[in-house]
């Protein structure tokens, strides 16, 4: 009796809500006549990646990396262009193209990546971050995952597309961009503003933005998380001013204290979990690899009574929290008290990194934060604002990425993913391009923590897997 009543209750609940359906369609693939011969190209891919890691392009020096890539392409008869913003000769962007076999109206596809990497302190690393050492089946070094590993995969796939003489029905661009790690001012944003003609006829981009995961979201799961949407950015500079004072006789209103109180309230503001339309497809796909009743809950996350059952697991996961919450992080603190402990500084400053879900306007959200700031006599100014963005889930590229990846790894699933961080995809979506982010490797929880952290590395097996998947995507799109 209890089971039947429960079943009837669930049926009545489902009747009131539109069911979520799988975003992944059954996309037919061409016969794999042109699979990349990995035995032939393994040494090439490894050498390219180790060479790239050895070029120290920490937030700059992209020119040297671009010239290295150009030398590879020119040996294969592929012409390249190096483009930089006037006044920034070392912040170079590289473009190479393969033209369709016959004139075509099909929109072109861009393989996007970036040439710069973030800082790495050799004293904190087991292996030299700029030596490209190979040890225990892994290539170690800054950029191995983000994103020189992707560059190596794309180079070999791009070359193999030309070498194998696959008839092309759409043009293919290899696009390496500068300055992604610091806001894309000299890279994607410069190119789109000053050279929009370069992208005429292109409609798709495959870039970074996410990874495949193994045993991360669900034990035993293999998931290719395909970025199709990104949260918005609201970067803020915060200042509290006042008179310098003595630490032994503090007032109730000195700058550092006001800043601390403000930051505390902002971090506690708007902490609700939101499973929006953009994340329902992701949870649905998790339901496909879960057992009942968890599968039922995940597939119907749009129903409030079921959605609340996911809140516990979401709160326990940094990754799930990031895609279902508006997050705030204190990314910098600074005062001018000098070296002593007995001076209350007249100026206290902070940086806030706010990431917003789709549907939230960064400037409107800023107004809410400024209301909190008024209570503590704190100044808040925006350093950068970028709205959230997304591409279609029913596009041929998204569905092809999903089909190729899951065909390569039986038992895996593909899931649409909203990225907590910004990539160059955001700027190309603004001109109407359908952009998707996936470095097609399978990372475990430990490997995910290597991003922008110490001891970054990639397994040789993942380098192989990623190259084969990217090449197959190019083949299937032509």
Pairwise CA distance, residues 322 & 59, whole Å: 25
Report cis status (omega within 30 of 0) of the bond before 457. no
Label residue 196 left, alpha or beta by phi (over 0 means left) and psi (-120 to 50 means alpha): alpha
Residue 474's CB: how many other CB atoms inside 10 A?
26
CATH 3.30.70.360 region(s) of the chain? 232-265+327-387
CATH 3.40.630.10 region(s) of the chain? 38-231+389-477
> How far from chain centre, in Å, is Cα 416?
12
Full pLDDT tens readout for the chain, 478 residues: 444 555 455 555 544 456 778 899 989 999 876 667 777 899 999 999 999 999 999 999 999 999 999 999 999 999 999 999 999 999 999 999 999 988 889 999 999 999 999 999 999 999 999 999 999 999 999 999 999 999 999 999 999 999 988 889 999 999 999 999 998 999 999 999 999 999 999 999 999 999 999 998 788 899 999 999 999 999 999 999 988 888 888 888 899 999 999 999 999 999 999 998 889 999 999 999 988 898 999 999 988 888 899 998 889 888 889 999 999 999 999 998 777 888 888 999 999 999 999 999 999 999 999 999 999 999 999 998 989 999 999 999 999 999 999 999 999 999 999 999 889 999 999 999 999 999 999 999 999 999 999 999 999 999 999 999 999 999 999 9
pTM above 0.75, yes or no: yes
**Backbone phi and psi for residue 160, each to the nearest 5 degrees, phi listed first:** -65, -30
Report cis status (omega within 30 of 0) of the bond before 10. no
The architecture of the domain spanning 38-231+389-477 is 3-Layer(aba) Sandwich (3.40)
Pairwise CA distance, residues 413 & 183, whole Å: 32
Locus of tokens 């097996």: 461
Q: What's the topology of domain 232-265+327-387?
A: Alpha-Beta Plaits (3.30.70)
Dig out the tokens for 432 from the structure. Answer: 């109407």
Give the H/E segment covering residue 350.
Answer: strand 347-356
């Amino acid at each position: 009796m209890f089971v039947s009543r429960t079943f009837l209750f669930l049926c009545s609940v489902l009747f009131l809500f539109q069911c979520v359906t799988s975003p992944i369609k059954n996309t037919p693939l061409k016969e794999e006549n042109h699979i990349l011969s990995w035995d032939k190209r393994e040494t090439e891919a490894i050498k390219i990646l180790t060479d790239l890691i050895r070029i120290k392009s920490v937030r700059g020096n992209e020119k040297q990396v671009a010239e290295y890539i150009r030398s590879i392409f020119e040996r294969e008869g592929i012409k390249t262009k190096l483009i930089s913003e006037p006044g920034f000769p070392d912040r170079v962007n590289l473009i190479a193209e393969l033209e369709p076999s016959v004139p075509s109206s099909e929109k072109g596809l861009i393989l996007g990546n970036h040439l710069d990497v973030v800082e790495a302190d050799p004293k904190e690393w087991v292996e030299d971050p700029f030596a490209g050492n190979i040890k225990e089946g892994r290539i170690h070094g800054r950029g191995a995952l983000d994103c020189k590993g992707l560059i190596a995969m794309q180079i070999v796939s791009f070359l193999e597309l030309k070498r194998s003489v696959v008839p092309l029905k759409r043009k293919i661009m290899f696009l390496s961009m500068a300055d992604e790690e610091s806001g894309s001012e000299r890279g994607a944003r410069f190119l789109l503003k000053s050279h929009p003609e370069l992208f005429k006829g292109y409609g798709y981009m495959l870039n970074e933005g996410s990874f495949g995961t193994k045993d991360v979201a669900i034990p035993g799961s293999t998931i290719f998380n395909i970025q199709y949407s990104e949260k918005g950015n609201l970067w803020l500079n915060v200042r509290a001013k006042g008179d310098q004072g003595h630490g032994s006789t503090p007032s109730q209103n000195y700058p550092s204290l006001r800043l601390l109180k403000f930051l505390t309230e902002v971090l506690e503001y708007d902490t609700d979990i939101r499973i929006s339309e953009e994340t329902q497809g992701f949870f649905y796909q998790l339901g496909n690899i879960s057992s009942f009743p968890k599968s039922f809950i995940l597939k119907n996350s749009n129903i409030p009574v079921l959605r609340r059952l996911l809140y516990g697991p979401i709160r326990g996961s940094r990754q799930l929290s990031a895609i279902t919450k508006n997050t705030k992080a204190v990314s910098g603190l600074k005062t001018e008290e000098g070296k002593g402990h007995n001076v209350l500084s007249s100026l206290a400053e902070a940086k806030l990194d706010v990431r917003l879900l789709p549907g939230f306007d960064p400037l409107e959200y800023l107004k809410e934060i400024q209301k909190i700031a008024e209570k503590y006599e704190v100044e808040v100014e925006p350093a950068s604002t970028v709205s959230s963005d997304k591409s279609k889930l029913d596009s041929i590229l998204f569905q092809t990425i999903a089909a190729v990846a899951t065909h390569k790894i039986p038992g895996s699933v593909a899931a649409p993913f909203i990225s907590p961080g910004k990539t160059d995809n955001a700027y190309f979506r603004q001109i109407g391009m359908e952009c998707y982010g996936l470095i097609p490797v399978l990372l475990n929880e430990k490997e995910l923590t290597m991003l922008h952290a110490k001891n970054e590395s990639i397994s040789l097996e993942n380098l192989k897997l990623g190259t084969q998947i990217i090449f197959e995507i190019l083949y299937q799109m032509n």
